[in-house]
Amino acid sequence: MEKGNLVTIASYANPFEAELAKSLLEDYGFDVVLQNERIMSIYPSIAGDMYMIQLQVPEDREEEAKRIITDLEDTDYVSRILSQENALLEGHFSLTSGKHSSRYIEKIKVLQNPHAAHDLCKRLAARLEDYQFDCVVGPAYGGIVLAFETAYLLGKGFVFTQRKDDKMSIRSGFDLSRVRKVAIIEDILTTGGSVNEVIQCLSEAGIEVSVIGVLVDRSGGKIQFTAPLESLLSLEIPTWEADDCELCKQGVPLTKPGSSDKKS
């Protein structure tokens, strides 16, 4: 394929996002070139100010490629990131809610990659930008990073909540005098326990929740809150009570991944 036959359809400052778009188009059978990718990988701090990674495809497939990139749904995007970061695990897991499941989302693997976390927060920010609120709230611990980055992208304030003496509370020291309406950002939604605790503690402080944003809704859209829910990916993953677990009955070894004080 000759250079003259290539056209640039998108530009990226983020190598992770560029690679994600490239892999998507390659899945659709495109020949794809990332121009300036090498110089960005060698001199990221310098090259980032001078060059953008150019996503190039054959000229005769330009419009088709643009349409695929533009129509990339949040669900496809998040699924690809989870897969790329090896964050979606299969097996027999004990969740923080006490229930058992055949699949587990290891969100730490996503948060460990700042590029991946940033790209997901960009998607969350786009989902929330039409709602009215002045602050973004994230429950400790997984929600803190996502809420902070989303707040930064939206130009909003940020606070986080934590469980103290077995009760969810807003971290002491934050100035809440100008906080009236908020968006809650959570990583994984399973039973809605943590989010409801956050809503309750905010209500006690006289703060209204305008919207709730999550990366992954494991309930498949079954959980309802007093505020709208915006999820980037909805998965209906089966869960069982510990004393009535199908996998336990089959003798599948149980794993308890991660640990937190979260009631997911």
How far the first Cα of the chain sits from its last, in Å, is 51
Q: What is the pLDDT of residues 236-263, one digit of tens each?
A: 888 899 999 999 999 999 998 865 545 4
Buried-state track 63-83, b at ≥16 Cβ within 10 A, e below 16: eebeebeeeeebeebbbbbbe
> For the ranges 19-28, 59-68, 113-122, 196-205, which has the lowest average pLDDT?
19-28
Structural domains of the chain, count: 2
Provide the 8-state DSSP code for 60.
Answer: G
For residues 156 and 221, membership in a common domain is answered with yes
Q: Is 113 contained in some domain?
A: no
Instruction: For residues 131 and 199, state if they share a domain.
Output: yes
Residues 141 and 201 in one domain: yes
Asked whether residue 252 is domain-assigned, the answer is no
Could you tell me if residue 242 is inside a domain?
Answer: no
Q: Among 12, 39, 72, where does a domain finish?
A: 72
Rounded Cα distance, 131 and 115, in Å? 25
Q: Give the amino acid at 96.
A: T
Range of the domain at 63: 3-72
Please indicate, yes or no, if residue 144 is contained in any of the structural domains.
yes
The answer to whether residues 83 and 214 belong to one domain is yes
48 plus 80 within the same structural domain: no
Helix axes 74-84, 15-27, angle to 10 degrees: 110
Residues 83 and 68 placed together within one structural domain of the fold? no
Residue that finishes a domain, picked among 48, 72, 96: 72
Q: Determine, yes or no, domain membership for 93.
A: no
Domain-located, residue 140: yes
Per the CB < 8 A criterion, the answer to whether 176 and 202 are in contact is no
Q: Is residue 38 scored above 80 in pLDDT?
A: no
Supply the pTM of this predicted model. Answer: 0.76
Compute φ and ψ for 44, nearest 5 degrees.
Answer: -60, -40
116 part of a folded domain: no
- If asked whether residues 56 and 169 sit together in one domain, one would say no
* 207 neighbors 235 (Cβ within 8 angstroms): no
> Quick one: 221 and 125 in the same domain?
yes
Q: Are strands 33-35 and 53-58 parallel, antiparallel or unpaired?
A: antiparallel
pLDDT tens, position by position, 141-164:
889 999 999 999 999 999 999 988
Question: Count of alpha carbons within 13 Å of 96, Cβ hemisphere only?
Answer: 18
3-state DSSP helix/strand/coil percent for the chain, to nearest 5?
A: 40, 30, 30
Tell whether 81 and 200 lie within a shared domain. yes
Q: Quick one: average pLDDT of 208-213?
A: 98
Angle at which helices 114-128 and 142-154 cross, to 10°: 60
